[in-house]
Amino acid sequence: MDSGHELVAQTETAYGELREALEGLPEARMTDAWLGTWSVREILIHMSGWHREMIPALARIARGEAPYPDGAYDDLDAWNARFVEARSGVKVADVLAELAASHRDFVAAAAALADEHLAPGGRARSLVEGSGAEHYREHAAQIRQWRATHAP
């Protein structure tokens, strides 16, 4: 059975994979739209947005509460659009800094939970996986694929 520490370590490893996918990519290319209307910049913004949403959810789980009201996140596309809209005009360097900070805070919130919440079937497991390792790997793969065919 995976412990909470292992899940946090997996999250950190996957974040490193995301950072590697970005390594050497010029900031100017991070604003080229290629995933629908999104660029790398928007991908990173929405990841930070989910971190910011899930940090209080993890704190509620730690207190024995529901992470969020039923139906709160039924329309993920609308949430993603809100995250991106709210950061309109933010420079790529600031987006990168925000991602690093939100990741750090997200991991700290996850690490503060009891192992039972992070174990398979635990109340926080899917939130940490979905906004952490799985999310990082999904977008790292997309970025690597885009760079292999379109970016220097």
Q: Which pair of structure tokens corresponds to residue 131?
A: 């906004």
The stretch 78-85 carries a mean pLDDT of 96
What pLDDT, in 10s, does the model give residues 105-139? Answer: 999 999 999 999 999 999 999 999 999 999 999 99
pTM of the predicted model, to two decimals?
A: 0.93
38 strand-pairing partners: 35
In whole angstroms, give the CA distance from residue 45 to residue 87. Answer: 7
> Which domains are assigned to the chain?
4-150 (1.20.120.450)
Interatomic CA distance for residues 88 and 77, integer angstroms: 17
Q: What is the DSSP letter of 48?
A: H
- CA 37-24-15 angle, 5° bins: 75
CA distance 66 to 71: 12
pLDDT of residue 4: 75
Share the mean pLDDT of the chain: 94
Q: How far apart (Å, rounded) are the C-alpha atoms in residues 78 and 42?
A: 14
What pLDDT score does 2 carry?
Answer: 59
Kindly report, residue by residue over 1-41, the tens digit of the pLDDT.
Answer: 457 789 999 999 999 999 999 999 999 999 999 999 999 99
